[in-house]
Amino acid sequence: MYKVLVADDEPMALQMMIKIVTDRCPEFEICDTAADGKEALDKIRKEKPDVVITDIKMPLVSGVRICELIREENPDVFFIIISGYQSFEYAQRAIRSGAADYILKPIVPSVLQKAMAKLAEKIRVAYYYRRNRLLRQICNGSDYDLDEMRMIFPYESLYVGFVRQNGLPRRFTKNVGREIYSDIDEQYMIYGRDEMEALYLIPTEMLGTQSIKSYMQKVADRQKKANTYQTIIYSEKRVQVENLTEVIRLIYDALAHYTVIGKNQTIAIDQKNADLLGHRNGDDKQAADEDSFADMELLISDHKIDQAKRKIQEAFHRWQSQDRPQGWMEYAARNLNNLCIRYQHIQDNAEIINREILLDDAFYEAANVEELTEAVLGILFQNEETEKNVTKLDSPEFLKEVLEYLHHHLKDPLSMSEVCRTFGVSQTYLSKIFRKYTGLSFNQKVTELRMEKAKRIIQENSEYFIKEIAEMVGYQDQFYFSRVFRSYVGKSPSEYADELEKYEELD
């Protein structure tokens, strides 16, 4: 329930407002009252109510001044100004102070009830955005207001679960994807640093008798796409709100230490068991593989491309079978890239930076070690080979053909490897084309196309259910689709449809 503080120096008016809120406004509860402006200021700062109902004429400090001072300190507090003066000047002062509503005395119960109902919706939306802001702060390890967290997420304890599709988030390119959040009507909190992951904060009451492990597995099964792998991480024990930052840090650390290209994994963590993130595979498996690197460097320096490719391919498959984490394999790939830059005598800074971006894309988008190896080899040796029909294909016209193909297959599972096979080009080459002409990676462009198609479907026929629209653009989980849609459009599919209907009514 939302908290209300009522301030009025007239006892009868004060009691009447308390009765109206108590009897007619089920989403609100009275947290305190005040008989003068100074008392009101002190109690507002202490109680931190959601709504303050105050008379405009208060002893010591006026209602308008209370509104001005508190909204400077905390803009999330809503004010209703009550006045016995039917004056435009008073109404103006109330509005300028930031009041949400202005009601004349004598108070008509239905008028206050309607004003409170409007405020309830505004507060609900405000809570949603405050919740998202707090969640980002928590996930980024920033300081946050624990009292505010308890106020807008009032649960004693919760479980923490996490699902990641494919590899780690991009770390070297500026365009890292859009953050995703739970929808406004969902009871739990969800945050993702991009469209490929979701961190769940689930109140204990919501789980019932099922375990967090089984709950997260069901969530992951609904979200799983074709040609992807998943890393599921969860906290086995309930987490107190004050310990959230530490637990989320452990989850992100576990993701970095445990993600293996192409391997589905379910990992349990405990906030008291930080040593879980030690050298998982032992020093012998995590050693630098110096002999293998020396052989690869010799082949690269001698420009024995076919032999170097075979050697690198064997190494990547060996590392994957040893469960080498993605971070380790990225380090190896970048070392190999540096060798190729040196022995291919590449000095153009733009090309060097582009190779780093392409490597970032390769690890982000690869669904298995075969796709990864193909992409990495294409990047490493792009200067040693010539793509067939490269001049003809490196054009907006070729990209247009690819985009038309994507448009006609948005309902289907789409992978870069499948598109490359269709058009007879390498993954590296297709990545370069997308980066050159769209500024986006392949997956980012596919998401953009799907969201734009979803918008068109809603514009043309708002009668479709969200589940139907989701399936028409390639999403099996309507909730995941709604979150991605909100991150892309700024509002949920239903909100977007409602907004369109309002515009049509105005026309």
pLDDT of residue 266: 95
Residue with tokens 């597995």: 217
pLDDT of residue 389: 45
Q: Please report whether residue 142 resides in a domain.
A: no
The encoded tokens of residue 428 equal 């590296």
Question: What letter represents residue 297's amino acid?
Answer: E
**pLDDT per position as a tens digit, 364-400:** 989 999 999 999 999 999 876 554 445 456 678 899 9
Residue where one domain finishes, among candidates 126, 147, 171: 126
Q: Please report whether residue 141 resides in a domain.
A: no
Q: Which residues contact 452 (CB under 8 A, 6 or more apart)?
A: none
Q: What is the residue range of 16's domain?
A: 2-126
pLDDT of residue 507: 55
Q: What is the CATH number of the domain that holds 478?
A: 1.10.10.60
DSSP string, 157-201: EEEEEEEEESSPPPSS-S-----EE--TT-SSEEEESSTTEEEEE
264 and 306 in one domain? no
441 and 397 in one domain? yes
Q: What is the CATH number of the domain that holds 41?
A: 3.40.50.2300
pLDDT of residue 28: 97
The HSE-up count of residue 462 (CA atoms within 13 Å, CB side) is 12
**CA–CA separation, 88 and 85 (whole Å):** 9
Give the count of domains, the chain.
4
272 and 159 in one domain? yes
**CA–CA separation, 249 and 347 (whole Å):** 39
Residue where one domain finishes, among candidates 250, 279, 308: 279
447 and 362 in one domain? no
**CA–CA separation, 31 and 77 (whole Å):** 14
Residue where one domain finishes, among candidates 252, 279, 306: 279
Q: Please report whether residue 185 resides in a domain.
A: yes
Q: What percent of the chain has pLDDT over 90?
A: 57
Candidates 324, 316, 452, 423; CA nearest to 380 is 316
Longest CA–CA separation in the chain, Å: 94
190 and 90 in one domain? no
Q: Please report whether residue 149 resides in a domain.
A: no
Q: Which residues contact 346 (CB under 8 A, 6 or more apart)?
A: 340, 352, 383
Q: Please report whether residue 145 resides in a domain.
A: no
Q: Please report whether residue 251 resides in a domain.
A: yes
How are strands ordered across the β-sheet holding 101-104? Answer: 28-34, 2-7, 51-55, 78-83, 101-104
Counting as low any pLDDT under 50, the low residues of the chain are 278-286, 387-389, 391
Q: Please report whether residue 385 resides in a domain.
A: no
**CA–CA separation, 396 and 59 (whole Å):** 72
**CA–CA separation, 22 and 12 (whole Å):** 15
pLDDT of residue 277: 54
Q: Please report whether residue 208 resides in a domain.
A: yes
